[in-house]
Amino acid sequence: MKKVRAFAPATVANMGCGFDIMGMTLNGVGDVVSVEVSEGDELIINNVSGVELPEDIEKNVITPAARALMAAAGEKKKLVFTIEKKIHPGSGIGSSAASSAAAVYALNEALGRPFDDEKLVEFAMEGEKLISKGVPHADNVAPAILGGVVLLRSYEPLDIVRLPVPGKFCCTVAHPEIMVSTAMARQVLPKEISMHTAVTQWGNVAGLVAGLAMGDIDLMGRSMMDVVAEPYRKQFIPEFDRLKEKVLKMGALAMNISGAGPSVFALSKDMQTAESIGRTMEEHFKSLGHNADIYVTKVSNSGAKIIND
């Protein structure tokens, strides 16, 4: 029997304008999953994290991700996963992605590393497919495994581009206690967008990538405007526009919905601004009857890792 534990970080998907194609890694927040591999052909998932999760393993993102990896490896084993630490589901900071990323990372290690990290992204995407009703996206799982800022240039075939992370880049994330499922947040989106909307959005995506490549965080900030998803999703976040106005006045370069929401995130040039934005976000949600978890962190360059006891 071989036991391996792995950590995978929380992530901010979309980064404003990059719906389904960009994501970044937060420092220090994430999931810990262990796997025990022995002879047999069975999949068991224990949850000791204290966070409520569906008991049916068919509804757990780890199941399709682990099955995809085992099928590609051509292996049959008894796998016992234990979710030891968990970000709250529906938080908008890649909760499901952190679990499937940590699970495939640990499993790959336990099997003697048959796959590289980019291949692990493909397996972890199977978990995202489960919770977004059939649409596999990698803007959380890719940064959760690889770390840093990641661009999915293409899904068919998968083309993952790692972008440089400017050193001065501080991020405030507020996770209000509101439940928004990814499926629900995707359902409200239009199936088609106008040419004008598309032109605006791809100008911003190009500006964000250029800003990252050139280390120009002002360009990044003014490019992080989302005209595709935010107009439809902000209804789930109480008084989103008022909060955004306040946060931008405080010196944030940008404020957007994190992933499918309900978390929001703001970018700042320094920690002091990022921390006072955190307090403002907390007060905003509290005054509307919602407690909020606040994370103030740099964007991390490190993704999933093995934890040695």
Shortest CB 110 distance to ligand HSE, Å: 27
Nearest CA to 162 among 295, 309, 24? 24
Give the range of 137-145, 157-165, 268-276, 295-303 binding ligand HSE by CB under 6 A: 137-145
- # binding residues, ligand HSE (CB under 6 A): 12
Token duo for residue 243? 């909060």
Residue 104 CA, distance from chain mean position: 16
> Contacting ligand HSE (CB under 6 A), which of 86, 175, 186, 244?
186
Residue 192 is a catalytic residue: no
Rounded Cα gap, residues 47 and 103, in angstroms = 13
Q: Contact between 237 and ligand HSE (CB under 6 A)? A: no
The answer to whether 65 and 104 have CB atoms below 8 angstroms apart is yes
Residue 239 is a catalytic residue: no
> Contacting ligand HSE (CB under 6 A), which of 95, 140, 172, 263?
140
Q: Contact between 139 and ligand HSE (CB under 6 A)? A: yes
Nearest CA to 82 among 46, 50, 108? 46
The answer to whether 253 and 267 have CB atoms below 8 angstroms apart is yes
Rounded Cα gap, residues 215 and 259, in angstroms = 23
Q: Which helix (H) or strand (E) holds 264?
A: strand 264-268
Give the range of 27-35, 49-57, 178-186, 301-309 binding ligand HSE by CB under 6 A: 178-186
Whichever of 25 and 140 has its CB closer to ligand HSE, that residue is 140
Q: Contact between 20 and ligand HSE (CB under 6 A)? A: yes
Helix 271-287 to helix 240-249 angle, to the nearest 10 degrees? Answer: 150
Whichever of 13 and 281 has its CB closer to ligand HSE, that residue is 13
Q: Contact between 175 and ligand HSE (CB under 6 A)? A: no
The answer to whether 149 and 165 have CB atoms below 8 angstroms apart is yes
3-state SS class at 305: strand
> Contacting ligand HSE (CB under 6 A), which of 259, 262, 278, 303?
259
User: Which of 128, 273, 280, 297 does the annotation list as catalytic?
Assistant: 128
Which residues does residue 171 pair with via DSSP β-bridges, in sequence order? Answer: 267, 297
Give the range of 181-189, 193-201, 263-271, 277-285 binding ligand HSE by CB under 6 A: 181-189
The answer to whether 147 and 9 have CB atoms below 8 angstroms apart is yes
What are the angstrom distances between the C-alpha of 4 and each of 89, 110, 140, 181? 23, 6, 22, 30
Whichever of 80 and 212 has its CB closer to ligand HSE, that residue is 212
The answer to whether 77 and 37 have CB atoms below 8 angstroms apart is yes
Shortest CB 260 distance to ligand HSE, Å: 4
Shortest CB 21 distance to ligand HSE, Å: 8
Q: Per-residue string for binding with ligand HSE, 196-225, x by CB under 6 A?
A: ------------------------------
Q: Contact between 91 and ligand HSE (CB under 6 A)? A: no
By annotation, the residues acting in catalysis are 128, 182
Where does this chain bind ligand HSE (CB under 6 A)?
A: 13-14, 19-20, 137, 139-140, 182, 185-186, 259-260
